[in-house]
Amino acid sequence: MQLIDSRDIMASPEVVWAALLNPEVLKDCVPGCESMTGSAEDGFEAVVAQKVGPVSARFTGLVKLSDLDIGKGLTISGEGKGGPAGYAKGGAKVTLEPIEGGTRLSYEVEANVGGKIAQLGSRIIDSFAKKMADTFFERFQTAVEGPAEAEEGTDETQKKGWFKRLIS
């Protein structure tokens, strides 16, 4: 399956870029991620637990970053083995462009599954992948710029996302 979408994030491309390369951010944003270790240069080892329709699985795999165009875009690709549940692999081509007040993050996601997940969960896999991607970028946006529902009048520090706080 393929899906294409974009989000406007209220942070500069430099901040968004740094967040994309940060394993802690990725760990927090990947739904069901139990651990994420490694580095942007060598790739990240990830453990992700998910339930796809009738199939529950803990995927272990490698996430790699490639086509790095600093501050402008990159490709995230990963492949996870879920044991008897099968496997999942996919990638997202991410591009960043500055917009007024922040950054437009556009993504093209491609995801494939194999084995039991494909056999038993094919009806729901597209909506599952869409939800995974939506949740990821939703959380990413929150991590970078802070909760959208942050009330007026709260001070600047609180309004920032935790990542932004960390680096500001």
Query: What is the binding site for another protein (CB under 8 A)?
Result: 54, 83-84, 86-87, 112-116, 118-120, 122-123
CB 25 to another protein: min, Å: 30
Whose tokens are 């394993």? That residue is: 23
Cβ 89 to another protein, closest distance in Å? 9
Q: How far apart are CA 135 and CA 112, in angstroms?
A: 18
- CB-nearer residue toward another protein: 11 or 113: 113
Tell me which residue has tokens 């462009």.
97
Two tokens, residue 98 = 């500055």
Shorter beta-carbon distance to another protein: residue 32 or 115: 115
Compute the least distance from the CB of residue 118 to another protein, in Å.
4
Name which of 123 and 152 has its Cβ closer to another protein: 123
**83/101 with CB nearer another protein:** 83
- Compute the least distance from the CB of residue 54 to another protein, in Å: 8
CA atoms within 13 A on the CB side of 146: 17
| 87-99: strand order across its sheet | 2-9, 102-114, 87-99, 73-81, 55-69, 43-52, 33-39
